[in-house]
Structure 1
Amino acid sequence: MALNVQWCCGLDVATLENLGLSLGADVPLFIRGVAAFGEGVGDQLTLASFVEKWYFVAVPPIGIETRSIFNDPELKRDSPRRSFSELMSLPFYNDCEPIVRKRFSIVEKHILWLLKYAPCRLTGTGSCVFSEFDDEASAYQLLSKIPDWMHGFVARGVQVSPLYRALW
C-alpha cells in the first residue's frame, strides 16, 4: 500500500487485494484496512463493526509455521462452518489452540500464566496470546504484572487501520 502511494502507481484497493492474495493468505484483509470477517484465504471479506477494545498481547520467543499446524494429523477438521453472525453469538473457540499448546510448551506457559488474570486466546495458529479488556488501564495493569521471562505489549483494537487512514 505504501509503495502504491510512494511510487504513484494509482492502483485501487481491489487491485491491491488481488496482488496481495498472491503474497499469502489474509493479505487482502490487511489491505482493506477495516474491521472485517475473512473467509476463504482471507479474500472473501464481510465488513464488521466491533466495539473498540484494548488488548494485552504476550509474545512468546518463537515463531510457528501455519502450515505445520494445518498439517498436524490431530487438528480437528470437522468443525461446522458458521456464518459471521453465528460466530459472534457463540463462545470463542480456536481449533488450532490444542495443537499449539501441546506442541509448543512455551506457548502453553504463556497461556497458563495469563489465565491466572484474564481469559486469553491464541492468535490464529500462534504464537502470540492475547487478553481483551474494555479499558486501557486494565490492559496496562496486566502488562505491569508480567514476569521477567515474558514479553508483551498493549494495543487498542480499531475499526479502521491507522495506515489505511494515512494513505487513503
Structure 2
Amino acid sequence: MIRTLKQCPAPAKLNLFLHVTGRRPDGYHLLQTAFQLIDRCDYLDVEVRDDGLIHRCNDIPGVPADSDLIVRAARLLQAHGGSSLGANLTLHKQLPMGGGLGGGSSDAATTLLALNHLWNTGLTRAELMQLGLQLGADVPFFLFGENAFAEGVGEELQPLNTAEDWFVVLEPGVQVPTPAIFSAKELTRGTKPVRIADFSSDAKIHWKNDLQTVACALFPQVDAAIQWLSQYGQAKMTGSGACVFCAFADETAADTVLKQVPDRWTSWKAKALSRHPMAQKLGSKNIWLEAGLTLK
C-alpha cells in the first residue's frame, strides 16, 4: 500500500473571460467563464496516518488549520468514504491568496485526488466533483481534469480546447475579497449569455471580466496593473481579482514583457496546460482515465 505522495501539484487557473449573466433566488450569481489551467502550482505532501487524525503539518499565515480547505477536504472525504485512516498534510504555497487564481480551491481538489488514491476510497470523478462543490464553486473544475467552459455558479462544465499560450501574470499587492465584489451595487449582472461554440470559433464578442470594473474601482492597484500590462496586449483580471494577466503566443514574447515589469509588482510567467498535472502523478489509477479521458 502506498503511504505517501510528495509534491502533488495544485495548479492555478485563469479566467479567460468571466460574465455574470444573472442571479439565483438564493443570492448566488449565475456565471459563464472559460477556465484555463496553467503550470504555476502550489504543492502538497501527503502521508497516511493510521489513527484517523487529519493534521496540517505547517503554518500558513492567516489560515487556521481547522478552516483550511485542505483540512476540510480531507475530513469531508474521510466522512463520505468512511475511511478510518488519517493524513499528515504539508502545503507549500506559491499562489497568492485573494488573487483570483483559485489557489485554495485547487489545493482542496488536489487533497481529494491524493487521498482518494492513498486511502483507496474509490470515488469516481463525478463523485469527487459533487463532493468538492460543498467546499467551493471552483473546486469541481480542478477535479474535472481539463480546461472547461463553465456555467451555473461555475459547476456546469464542458471540455474546452484552448490555445497553447504563455501568460505574464502580475500580482498587484492587494487581496481582493470575493464577497465585496459580488455584493457591489455597480456589478453588471445581466450580460447576454454566450455559447461554447462562440468562444471556440473566436466570434466577435468582447470577452471581458464583468468583475473587473468593480475591482478596479475598489482597488486602484488592480487598475494600475491592468493599465500597465495593456501596453502589450489584452490584459484583464482573473476571477474576482487581484491578479491580472496577458496572453502571448510564445515564451520569448512573455520573457520580453516580464523584463519590463516595474519592481513594485511581483510578476511571473506561466504556460497553458491542457490537462491537470496530477494525472501524471497518479499514473494508471487516476480518475480521469476512468472517466474515459485521454490525458497527455
Give the alignment's TM-score, normalised by structure 2: 0.55
Residues 1:92 and 2:204 aligned together: no
Residues 1:134 and 2:249 aligned together: yes
**Is the CA contact 1:26–1:38 (under 8 Å) kept in the aligned structure 2?**
no
Residues 26-73 of structure 1 deviation map (CA, whole Å, 9 limit, x = unaligned): 210111120111111222111111121110111122221222111100
Select which of 227, 236, 242 maps to 1:112: 227
- Partner of 1:23, secondary structure, is coil
Amino acid at match of 1:28: P
Bigger helix share: 1
Q: How does 1:64-103 map onto structure 2 within 5 Å?
A: 64-87=176-199, 88-89=202-203, 90-103=205-218
**Is the CA contact 1:97–1:125 (under 8 Å) kept in the aligned structure 2?**
yes
Bigger strand share: 2
Residues 1:23 and 2:99 aligned together: no
Residues 1:148 and 2:288 aligned together: no
Gaps of 5+ in 2: 1-112, 287-296
Q: What's the CA shift for 1:78?
A: 1.7
The one of the two structures with greater contact order (alpha-carbon pairs below 8 A, sep at least 6) is 1
C-alpha distance in structure 1 between counterparts of 2:270 and 2:126, whole Å = 28
- Partner of 1:116, secondary structure, is helix
Q: How does 1:47-62 map onto structure 2 within 5 Å?
A: 47-62=159-174
Give the alignment's TM-score, normalised by structure 1: 0.94
C-alpha distance in structure 2 between counterparts of 1:163 and 1:58, whole Å = 25
Q: What's the CA shift for 1:8?
A: 2.1
**Is the CA contact 1:13–1:32 (under 8 Å) kept in the aligned structure 2?**
yes
Q: Alignment RMSD, CA only?
A: 1.3
- Partner of 2:255, secondary structure, is helix
C-alpha distance in structure 2 between counterparts of 1:82 and 1:119, whole Å = 20
Q: 4+ residue stretches of structure 1 with deviation over 4 A?
A: none
Q: What's the CA shift for 1:133?
A: 0.5
Amino acid at match of 1:4: N
Gaps of 5+ in 1: none
Deviates more, 1:152-161 or 1:15-24: 152-161
Amino acid at match of 2:186: E
- How many residue pairs get aligned? The number is 168
Select which of 281, 289, 292 maps to 1:166: 281
Percent sequence identity over aligned pairs: 36
- Partner of 1:161, secondary structure, is coil
C-alpha distance in structure 2 between counterparts of 1:101 and 1:119, whole Å = 16
Amino acid at match of 2:148: A
- Partner of 1:69, secondary structure, is helix
